Structure 1
C-alpha cells in the first residue's frame, strides 16, 4: 500500500489555507498538526472541529498528529503504566473523528529543546506508550510516528537509536514518517543543505556523522536498525533553510540562521530576484541560492529535487513519501505533483 502524506498545520488552516480537490487527488493521508500536552492534558487547537470537518470531506485518511518541535509533556505522559493509560484515553477521545494518531515526540532522552523535560527512561517508555496506543486503537485505526534523521540536534551530535528502540517501536506502528530534512539547521556550524540526497564529501561535518546526515544515509541507517523499507515513508520539505555566511556561502562558517520561508515564498520573492545567485549541487541533488549583498545562503527544494527524492523512495521499495508541510507549496501544487509522480 502506497502512502502519500502531507502535514497540514492548524495554524495554516486558521490563516485561510484550504486543501483543494487537486491536492487531495494526489494524497492518501493528511496529518493534522498538532495536538499538544498542556498542563498534563491533551489539547487540540481551538478551531480543530471545523478543520477536521473540512479535512474529512476530502475522502483521505485523516490522522491526528500529537507533539511537534518544542512540544513538552511526553516524558511525563509516558512515565508510568497509569500515565500511559491516561494519555491513551485522551488520545482516543480527541481522535474520535480521525482515522488514527501520529506521535511526534521530539525527542525522547535527548536532542529536543533543552527546556522540554526528558529522562533516560524515555527510550523504553516511548515504546510502551506506542504499545498502549496500538492496543487501544485496534486494527482498523492507524498508529504512526514522525521520527528524526538529522545528526545535529540541540545538544550537538545526535543518534536516533539513543532516543528510540527503533525496531521494536516500528513493530507497533503502521508506518514511520521519516523526517529526512533538517539535516542543516541553526545547530550546524556551516551554511549547508536542508535535505541533501546523498553524502557530500565537501561537507566539513565529521564523516562519522556525515555518512548518515543525508536522505539515503538516513534510510540505510533505519534499515540497519531493523525498520523495514515498506514501513518507511520518506519526508520531503516544502520549505527552505537560510544562513548568514561569507562568500561563496556553501559550507562557509555560518554567523546566524535566517528565516528562508516556504517554497511559495522562495519562488515568489527570491527566484524572481536577479540579485540571488542560483546554484544546483550535483551530489546533494539540491538547488541553493546566495545573495552576495546580504551574504545570505538559502537551501531549498524544487520540483526537480523533490522528484529525485520521490523516485529514490519508489525505486528502493519505501512505502511512499510525505511532506512538511502542504501549505508551503505554491498554488499550482508544483512540489506535491513532483512528490506524487513516481508513485502514480
Structure 2
C-alpha cells in the first residue's frame, strides 16, 4: 500500500501550471461532467493527458465537482448506471482510474440540482458496478465531504453516502477537509480549522464536526479505515465582509476566494492587512480594517501541520484542491509532501507507507 500524495488540477489551469515532476503520486484531472445525460470531457483533454502523465505516475479522471449535476439520474436505474459506466470507460481509456466527485447525494450542494432519497443507496451501487467494470488494475476513488453547513442547512455526510459500503469498493477516499467556512455560514470563520474552536459562535452540535480532525473521526466512526483516508488541504482561502475584528463576526457578504499565490503576493506584503494565527484552529487569518475584509487561508506552516497529522495518524496521505493555486516556488506543495518524505523534487527520502 503506497502513500498517496495527490492534487487536483482543473483543465483550465493546465497551460499555466508549472508543477515539478516527482512530487506527486496521483494527479486528478478536473472535471468531466454529465450534460444532458452524456458524459463529457473538457475540450482539450486529449492534449492535456501527456502533461498530466509527466506530473505523476497515476493520472485519474475526476467526474463531477461543485455544482455538477446529472449524478442522481445517472445512478437511478440498472440501465442508467450501465450507460454511465459505458461512457466512463470510453472517456477514461487513457487514464489510470476514475474519481467520483458527486456533490452531493440526497441533499446539499446547489439547491437547483436533482436530489432523491434513493441517492445514498444508488451512489453505492454506482461505485460497486463501476469498480467491477474498471477491473483490479485501475483506480476508483471518490472525493467526499466533511460535515459543514450546506444550502439546506447542517450537513451530515453519512446521510448522503453509505460510507462503510463505499470504502469497501474504493481504493481510497479524498476527504474534503476544507470549505467549513463558506457563504452558507452566518459568520466569518475558518476555511479549514484543524480542531474545534470552543468560542466559535455556532451551535455546539454543528461546531463539533466542522474541523479537520473531527471530520476524520466522523469517517472512521462510520466504518472507513484510516488507511483509506487521504486528507484534503486547500491551496486557497475564503473571504468575507465583516465588522471588526472580523473573526467570528456576522458576515455581510463573501468575496471571490483568493488563491495562495494571490494572498502571498498582494496581502502578506501589504502592512494594511493585519496578520493573525489562531492557536486552536491552527490557521492564519487576515483582516483589512478599511475594507472590513476577513480572509481565512492556509500557509506553509499550517499545511505542513495538517500533512504531519495525516502521516502520523495512519492516514493514506494528503491531497490538495488545487495545484495551480500554489506560488511559483511550489511552497505549499513542498509543505504538503515533506512529512511523507518527499523533498523538493528529489524523490522519496523514505520508503512509501
TM-score bracket for this pair, using the shorter chain length: over 0.9
Q: Does 1:25 align with 2:26?
A: no
Q: Matches of 2:151 and 2:265 in 1, distance apart?
A: 31
Q: Matches of 2:282 and 2:99 in 1, distance apart?
A: 30
Identify unmatched segments of 5+ residues in structure 2.
342-353
Q: Matches of 1:162 and 1:76 in 2, distance apart?
A: 19
Q: Matches of 1:69 and 1:290 in 2, distance apart?
A: 28
Q: Does 1:218 align with 2:215?
A: yes
Q: Does 1:8 align with 2:13?
A: no
- Say whether the 8 Å CA contact 1:19–1:55 is kept in structure 2: no
* CA-to-aligned-CA distance 1:41-62 (integer Å, 9 cap, x gap): 0000101111112112335200
Match of 1:129 in 2: 126
Match of 2:349 in 1: none
Deviation at residue 258 of structure 1 after TM alignment: 1.2
- Say whether the 8 Å CA contact 1:280–1:287 is kept in structure 2: yes
Deviation at residue 96 of structure 1 after TM alignment: 0.2
Aligned-partner SS, 1:198: coil
Match of 1:228 in 2: 225
Deviation at residue 211 of structure 1 after TM alignment: 1.0
Aligned-partner SS, 1:283: coil
Q: Matches of 1:290 and 1:18 in 2, distance apart?
A: 29
Match of 1:198 in 2: 195
Aligned-partner SS, 2:263: helix
Q: Matches of 1:253 and 1:59 in 2, distance apart?
A: 43
* CA-to-aligned-CA distance 1:163-182 (integer Å, 9 cap, x gap): 00000011110000000000
Alignment of 1:92-111 (within 5 A): 92-111=89-108
Q: Does 1:244 align with 2:245?
A: no
Match of 1:257 in 2: 254
Aligned-partner SS, 1:188: coil
Deviation at residue 11 of structure 1 after TM alignment: 1.1
- Say whether the 8 Å CA contact 1:180–1:195 is kept in structure 2: yes
Match of 2:159 in 1: 162
* CA-to-aligned-CA distance 1:170-201 (integer Å, 9 cap, x gap): 11100000000000000001000000000001
Q: Matches of 1:153 and 1:96 in 2, distance apart?
A: 34
Q: Matches of 1:108 and 1:341 in 2, distance apart?
A: 35
- Kindly tell me the number of residue pairs found equivalent between the two proteins: 340
Match of 2:265 in 1: 268
* TM-score of the superposed pair, with normalisation by structure 1: 0.98
- Runs of 4 or more, structure 1, over 4 Å off, are none
- Say whether the 8 Å CA contact 2:65–2:101 is kept in structure 1: yes
- Say whether the 8 Å CA contact 2:147–2:154 is kept in structure 1: no
Alignment of 1:82-101 (within 5 A): 82-101=79-98
- Say whether the 8 Å CA contact 1:260–1:266 is kept in structure 2: no
Q: Does 1:63 align with 2:76?
A: no
- Say whether the 8 Å CA contact 1:150–1:181 is kept in structure 2: no
Identify unmatched segments of 5+ residues in structure 1.
none
Q: Matches of 1:283 and 1:58 in 2, distance apart?
A: 35
Q: Matches of 1:301 and 1:58 in 2, distance apart?
A: 23
Q: Matches of 2:49 and 2:17 in 1, distance apart?
A: 12
Match of 1:180 in 2: 177
Aligned-CA RMSD value: 0.8
Deviation at residue 150 of structure 1 after TM alignment: 3.6
Deviation at residue 209 of structure 1 after TM alignment: 1.2
Q: Matches of 1:168 and 1:57 in 2, distance apart?
A: 34
Aligned-partner SS, 2:55: coil
Match of 1:303 in 2: 300
Deviation at residue 334 of structure 1 after TM alignment: 0.2
Aligned-partner SS, 1:25: coil
* TM-score of the superposed pair, with normalisation by structure 2: 0.95
Deviation at residue 18 of structure 1 after TM alignment: 2.8
